[in-house]
Chains A and B, each alone.
Chain A
Amino acid sequence: MERILSYVDAIREATDQQMAEDPSVVVFGLDVDDPKAIQGTTRGLAEKYGPERVFGTPLSEEAMTGAAIGMALAGLRPIHIHIRMDFLMLAMNQLVNVAAKSRYMYGGQVHVPMVVRCMIGKSWGQGAQHSQGLHSFFMHVPGLKVVAPTNPYDAKGCLIQAIRDNDPVIYVEHRILHFQKGIVPEERYGIPPGRARVLEEGRDVTLVGISHMLTECLRARCYLETINVHAEVIDPIWLSPLDIETIVKSVKKTGRLCVVDNGWTTCGASAEIVTRVIERLQGEREVVVHRMGYAPATCPPTPSLEDLYYPNARTIASAVYDLVKGGRNHWLPEEREGLQEMEFRGPF
């Protein structure tokens, strides 16, 4: 029988299995050993592996990130956890100036195998500083890898891969994705960088969704099906290195690309993906493109504005409809029951 696990338990299992296999893996961050255990993702690890390998830290993001780098230089494989991605702004010097650059600027004498787990928040009034998807900041910097798994299967495989990787990996979680359930094999497996996945096939338009927006894209696809528009939905999984070939291949077929990011569009992952696709296909295939993401504003906590701030399945479907039909058609599907809980369970 196929085993169903939550995203949270998939992360916990990946960490547990890698810690059991490799004594150099250590886990730390504020509250990793407290009763809530980072939404349950670190539950039981401190008891099993002891306080030297699993420990809570002072609220010192820059120093603890720097310490993670030092540990990695000494041969450990640290996993440093932040309950919100927004806090990484305090660690940018270490991530950008040291973690990303050490291998290169020291001529290959050292490498920095570390994983930075961080979560994007949404709703419950998360507001300005608990909601940001800043993955594009890290995509910008050579030497960093960035991954944003969207389902429990990838959550496990990508974390195992990230821990094994010899470079710093920014592992982007989304708080809402934590509740996802799906098929997760018990054995250890990696999801290698630079391989996107076509989750649903379709002939009319290519829909690329990042992090939690992938789920919204899958829902949008259901709305579009009702009007005979068939969307191909792609999960890039790894944002850096990015598998542009899979997306290019799809757009070559559909001629239409909509990238929906869990972040702002300006200079963001959507800008990068669209640009790379056009660079590849210009002169060969006529392509129309569209980008969606956070409204160009600071995230408001009030629900009436927050609803407008994020793309959702219906607004995505509406935008894709315009992309397919041309012009502004003002079509917006009626809210459909049952789609809220939709998630991709596998198998893969």
Chain B
Amino acid sequence: MMSKAIYERFYRSLYRIRRVEEEIARIYPSDKIKSPVHLSIGQEAVSVGVCEALRPDDVVFGTYRSHAYYLAKGGDLKKMLAELYGKATGCAKGKGGSMHLIDAAHGVMGASAVVGTTIPNAVGYAYALRLQRKDSVVVSFFGDGATDEGVFYESLNFAALKQLPIIFICENNFYAIHTHLLSRHKDANLCGRVRAYGIPAEQIDNNDILKINERVKGVVDLLRAKQGGPFFFECLTYRWKEHVGPNDDFHLGYRSYEEARTWVEGDQVRRLAALIAPQSRERIETQVEEEIRAAIVCAEDEPFPEAQELLTDVTGD
């Protein structure tokens, strides 16, 4: 049984991500956000469950669906929103956008628009951490789509061969854009495939934030104690919004609202809200709303990058 304080932490993080993305969806039609957004609404529990098991000096790599893990790991909200607005004060000075969020100081090491691409980067980072005799760990977030890519299997193999301090988190939301996992694989037993590489693998159902956190915490401790590695978790979850953009897409016909209903009813934001005292909830929500409001005002007021930024940071000299 976890303490109330931990539930409050989880709730704050979940609620904050949900509300940031709802605000992004609200602002998006105004065309002030100059970046395609891949919203994590519905999937926040995976990011929060995992990142709440990590230390600040642990490192995460992720995907273009980047907002949830960026915020869950401690990425700066003001810099994130400024980045989405294309502002000079953005986390990548307006040169990365929503699909390439980074906050190196908080262990958020970047993301790729090309599916599966950051998986080997995370593996290499883990190799370096061990060579440097550090006890930090790396988490590689990716979707089920990335498990279609060859580089995923190459990366698993090398991580297993070298027993690296890395946790692979597959956020299985069942769809690569609009194509279901079962239309892409004859055998959808992902954990079985991963175990064939000599990596312990576990599926966690129902978007269950508490179970995700507990399991990840367990393997983080093992990794820090140099007992085994890597580990793999397949977290079943569900994207509520369209693949890219702020809207629903049930009208497209590739999935039904009936399919979504169980996931919406199992919403982890609501679940955690019910686990904490009403006055705590109100306090958290008020604080979060104020923080988001201030960050949006900030992003709107900040300047765009100056012309000389066009050719800055192409190379180091």
Contacts and interface: CB of A to CB of B under 8 A. Distances in A.
Given A98-B117, A106-B92, A63 B314 contact: no
B316 to A, nearest CB: 4
A110 B314 contact: no
A76 B314 contact: no
A97 interface: yes
A75 B94 CA distance: 25
Contacts of A73: 109-110, 121, 124-125, 128
Given A57-B158, A93-B114, A109-B102, A67 B314 contact: no
B117 A75 contact: no
Contact of A98 (B121, B126, B131): B121
Interface in A65-123: 65-76, 78, 93-94, 97-98, 102-111
A75 B314 contact: no
Contacts of B150: 62
A270 B203 CA distance: 54
A62 B151 contact: yes
B123 A104 contact: no
A108 B104 contact: no
B90 A67 contact: no
A70 B128 contact: yes
B315 interface: yes
B157 A98 contact: no
B151 A106 contact: no
A66 B315 contact: no
Contact of A60 (B104, B154, B313, B316): B154
Contacts, number: 148
B109 A103 contact: no
Contacts of B315: 103, 142-143, 145, 167, 241
A110 to B, nearest CB: 6
Contacts of A111: 316
A74 B96 contact: no
B129 interface: yes
B112 interface: yes
Interface string A40-78: 000000000000110001101011111111111111101
Interface string B148-180: 001100110110010000000000000000000
A63 B93 contact: no
A57 B95 CA distance: 34
Interface string B110-141: 10101001111111111111011000000000
A67 B140 CA distance: 12
Contacts of B155: 60, 63, 66-67
A82 to B, nearest CB: 15
B133 to A, nearest CB: 10
Given A97-B114, A98-B112, A66 B151 contact: yes
A103 B104 CA distance: 12
A196 interface: no
B126 A60 contact: no
B149 to A, nearest CB: 9
Nearest to A26: B131
Residue among B126, B127, B129 with the highest chain A CB neighbour number at 10 A: B127
Given A66-B119, A76-B131, A106 B100 contact: yes
Nearest to B310: A104
A112 to B, nearest CB: 10
B121 A110 contact: no
Interface string B280-313: 0000000000000000000000000000000011
A58 B128 contact: no
A279 B32 CA distance: 40
A109 B92 contact: yes
A204 to B, nearest CB: 36
A26 B162 CA distance: 15
B92 A70 contact: no
Nearest to B113: A97
Contacts of A166: 316-317
B91 A70 contact: no
B131 A52 contact: yes
A76 B132 CA distance: 9
Contacts of A52: 131
A158 to B, nearest CB: 16
A105 B94 CA distance: 8
B124 A71 contact: yes
Interface in B71-114: 90-96, 100, 102-104, 109-110, 112, 114
A289 to B, nearest CB: 28
Contacts of B317: 166-167, 193
A76 to B, nearest CB: 5
B110 A110 contact: yes
A66 B117 contact: yes
A69 B119 CA distance: 11
Nearest to B61: A70
B120 A108 contact: no
Contacts of A106: 92, 95-96, 100, 102, 104, 110
A144 to B, nearest CB: 9
Contacts of A74: 59, 124-125, 128-129, 132
26 contacts: A60-B158, A62-B154, A63-B151, A63-B155, A63-B157, A67-B124, A67-B155, A67-B158, A70-B121, A73-B125, A76-B131, A93-B151, A103-B315, A104-B314, A105-B95, A106-B92, A106-B102, A106-B110, A107-B91, A107-B92, A108-B93, A109-B92, A110-B110, A111-B316, A142-B315, A145-B315
Q: Which 8 A-B pairs have the closest CB atoms?
A: A70-B124, A66-B120, A67-B124, A63-B154, A74-B128, A60-B154, A107-B92, A107-B93
Given A70-B124, A98-B112, A108-B313, 17 more contacts: A58-B158, A63-B158, A66-B151, A66-B155, A69-B120, A69-B121, A71-B125, A73-B125, A74-B128, A74-B132, A103-B316, A105-B95, A105-B96, A109-B91, A110-B109, A165-B316, A241-B315
